[in-house]
Amino acid sequence: MKRNLLMFLLVFSVMISFSQNKKAIDVYLIGGQSNATGQGYMKNIPPDFETDKSVHFFYSQNLGGGGTAMEWGPLCQASETPDKFGVELSMGTTLKKLYPDREIALIKHALSGSNLYEQWATGKNKNDTANFGPEFKKFIHTVEAGLSELEAKGYKPKIKAMVWQQGEADARDIAGVENNRNYGKNFHHFIKRIRKQLNAPKMLFIYGYVIPVPLERFTGREEVREAQKNVDQNSGHKLASEKAFVIETDDLPLRGDEPNSPYPDDKIHFNTFGILELGERFANKIKEELK
């Protein structure tokens, strides 16, 4: 009996020592639709911008990137195709500048054109998997796989914040008036549920306004943008979510403004310079609110 007790204490002490020796790493999540996927062009990145490759990056198998999907590697682009990028480059690089003594890791999954009311649906609780939307499932799978791999590498990961750029699909005419109007309720529920799903109740949630220019096909634009304002922690609205903050994006340059753009009429997607600026704004807002 005494021998078994001594053996238990030895094993327990080894486990405690291993846990204490794990290196802390701050994890930031990226999700949403096309402006989160990223419509910036690698070839148009200014020569004075340098990606900080000491930042760790993990992205879903649905994205094409400069590394290998579902494997940790140095920070690189990950969008619909490897010639494009999203907020990961500037966000990760800026976070490392803001927290030079911290290990920084980003995990990303996004899908262009995806809506919140169906594709990112979170169900009523953790066990309501039958009502999980396909993109929510992929996102959770990607995040959990990334966290597990970090732990296997000897890190102690902590989710600090999530950034989200989405809402255009829910504002479309084809989404229907009901889904236009329900964006605020769905968004509030999404933030609450994703924190519970990832066991990160204090996770900061930062998101940007969508659809800077009124366009005919986005008949629910005002409803979605009003909902985004209301969900902000400081709105005073019943939909306000603690530690959720919206940032300004209407001044960011669009893809139609980019020199030699293949989409000269695009007034929905941020261009190369807009995406770089958006990533910086996300990082700076995270720093501001985590103080």
**Mean pLDDT rounded to a whole number for the chain:** 93
pLDDT reported for residue 129: 81
Q: What is the pLDDT of residue 127?
A: 79
- pLDDT band of residue 138 (cuts 50, 70, 90) is very high
Confidence at 18, pLDDT banded by 50, 70, 90: very low
CA atoms within 13 A on the CB side of 66: 17
The helices-and-strands tally (H runs, E runs) of the chain is 9, 11
Paired strand residues for 78: 65
Over range 130-149, report the average pLDDT.
Answer: 96
Place of tokens 């682009």: 77
**pLDDT surpassing 70 at residue 2:** no
> pTM higher than 0.85 for the full model?
yes
Distance (Å, whole) CA 109 – CA 20? 31
**Cβ neighbours, 10 Å, residue 186:** 19
Q: What is the pLDDT of residue 16?
A: 44
Domain count, the chain: 1
Higher pLDDT, 112 or 5: 112
CATH number at residue 42: 3.40.50.1110
| CA-based torsion, 17, 20, 25, 27: positive or negative | positive
pLDDT digit string, tens, across residues 74-129: 999 999 999 999 999 999 999 999 999 999 999 999 999 999 999 999 988 877 78
> Could you tell me the end-to-end alpha-carbon distance of the chain, in angstroms, rounded to an integer?
51
In a domain, 247, yes or no: yes
- How large is the angle between the packed helices 88-98 and 272-290, nearest 10 degrees? 40
Question: Which pLDDT value is given to residue 190?
Answer: 98
Question: Which stretches within the chain are classed as H helix?
Answer: 2-21, 34-37, 88-98, 134-152, 168-171, 177-181, 183-197, 221-231, 272-290
Q: The tokens of 52 are what?
A: 């900080």
pLDDT tens, 185-241?
Answer: 999 999 999 999 999 999 999 999 999 999 999 999 999 999 999 999 999 999 999
Contact 119, 74 (CB under 8 A): no
Name the residue among 114, 106, 83, 109 with its Cα closest to residue 262.
83
Please indicate, yes or no, if residue 217 is contained in any of the structural domains. yes
Structural domain contains residue 51: yes
Question: Is 4 domain-assigned?
Answer: no
> Which residues in 164-183 are b (16+ Cβ under 10 Å) and which e?
bbbbbbbbbeebeeebbebb
pLDDT at position 4, please? Answer: 56
pLDDT range class, residue 59, cuts 50, 70, 90: very high
280-289 per-residue burial string, b: 16 or more CB within 10 A, e: under 16: bbbbbbbeee
Residue 7 C-alpha from the chain's centroid: 45
Buried b (16+ CB within 10 A) or exposed e, 57-87: bbbbebbebbbebbebeebbbbbbeeebbbb
pLDDT value, residue 131: 87
Assigned domain for 216 exists = yes
Whether 133 is in a domain gets the answer yes
Is 6 part of a structural domain of the chain?
no
Given a cut of 60, whether residue 7 has pLDDT beyond it is: no
The span from the CA of 194 to the CA of 76, in Å, is: 25
d(C-alpha 49, C-alpha 61), whole Å = 27
How would you classify residue 176: left for phi > 0, otherwise alpha for psi between -120 and 50, otherwise beta?
Answer: left
Segments forming the whole domain that contains residue 199: 24-290
Calpha distance 203→246 (Å, rounded): 15
Model pLDDT, residue 3: 58
Q: Does any domain span residue 199? A: yes
Q: With 0-12 CB in 10 A as exposed, 13-18 as middle and 19+ as buried, what is 25?
A: buried
